[in-house]
């Protein structure tokens, strides 16, 4: 399939031009805007759409956008700082497990309906699958995270050489990083479904990784220099 054909297939059957879809999804994930803010902004450009259309685009395209961007991902360091934060979904608290490396680059994340050993094990398995085995993991004092790693080591899922330490000071970097995610979520006025929340947060995390320059974009065809050009090159790949 040609590069142009790849993009056409991705947006096949959509009423709006693919550039409008990408722009709306990109801005929704990157900036502190509600879907209704975006509707008004698009209206000023002569484009009439409903806020629910933008929300559907986010659910439909974030997984595909993630897949295409991840082909260009840079490796993170082997020193991980892990922590959890709280996200409200349908009026109930859920738990966002997150890790960054010592430089503040995003390692991985997992939205879970529970905060327990099973959820922590799921998060660490996902992080290692996507990023390889870390050299050291810094945790807070929460017992279930420590127990999860002990069980993963006992099962042979995590090598015993991985060093575990607790340090509130060293984990400041991940706690500060949580704030960027939560600041972006606040204007969205709450999530109604867990699955929708998980996809939207994945998109926000993607936008944060792009902001942190965690992708190798320097050798993309055409040497794009702007965000729209870079997105177009990534999606055509």
Q: Is residue 154 part of a domain?
A: yes
What CATH number is given to the structural domain containing 98? 3.30.420.10
- The helix/strand/coil state of 83 is strand
Q: Give the angle subtended at the CA of 26 by the CAs of 219 and 178, to the nearest 5°.
A: 95
CB atoms near residue 51 (< 10 Å): 15
pLDDT tens profile 19-77: 999 999 999 999 999 999 999 999 999 999 999 999 999 999 999 999 999 999 999 99
Taken in order 120, 175, 164, 75, is the CA torsion positive or negative? Answer: positive
Give the structural domain span for 106: 79-187
**Which single residue is written with the structure tokens 């902004």?**
41
- Helices 51-70 and 194-211: crossing angle in degrees, nearest 10, is 60
| Domain match, 146 and 164 both | yes
Q: Is residue 174 part of a domain?
A: yes
CB 178 within 8 A of CB 204: no
| Domain match, 148 and 177 both | yes
Considering its fold, how many domains does the chain have in total? 2
pLDDT tens profile 90-124: 999 999 999 999 999 999 999 999 999 999 999 99
| Domain match, 98 and 158 both | yes
pTM: 0.92
Q: Is residue 195 part of a domain?
A: no
| Domain match, 50 and 89 both | no
| Domain match, 117 and 60 both | no
| Domain match, 93 and 182 both | yes
């Amino acid at each position: 399939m040609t590069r142009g054909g790849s993009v056409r297939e991705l947006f096949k059957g959509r009423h709006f031009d693919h550039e409008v879809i990408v722009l709306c999804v990109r801005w929704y994930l990157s900036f502190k805007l509600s879907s209704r803010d975006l509707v008004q902004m698009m209206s000023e450009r002569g484009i009439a759409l409903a806020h629910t259309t933008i929300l559907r685009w986010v659910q439909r395209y974030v997984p595909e956008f993630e897949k295409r961007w991840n082909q260009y991902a840079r490796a993170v360091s082997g020193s991980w700082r892990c922590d959890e934060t709280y996200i409200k979904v349908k009026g109930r608290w859920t738990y966002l497990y997150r890790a960054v490396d010592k430089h503040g680059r995003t390692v991985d994340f997992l939205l879970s309906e529970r905060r327990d050993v099973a959820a922590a094990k799921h998060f660490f398995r996902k992080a290692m699958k996507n990023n390889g085995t870390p050299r050291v993991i810094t945790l807070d004092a929460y017992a279930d995270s420590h127990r999860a790693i002990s069980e993963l080591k006992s099962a042979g899922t995590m090598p015993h050489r991985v060093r575990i330490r607790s340090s509130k000071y060293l984990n400041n970097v991940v706690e500060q990083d949580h704030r960027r995610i939560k600041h972006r979520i606040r204007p969205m006025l709450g999530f109604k479904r867990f699955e929708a929340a998980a996809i939207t947060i994945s998109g926000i995390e993607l936008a944060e990784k792009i902001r942190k320059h965690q992708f190798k974009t320097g050798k993309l065809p055409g040497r794009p220099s702007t965000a729209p050009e870079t997105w177009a090159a990534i999606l055509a790949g």
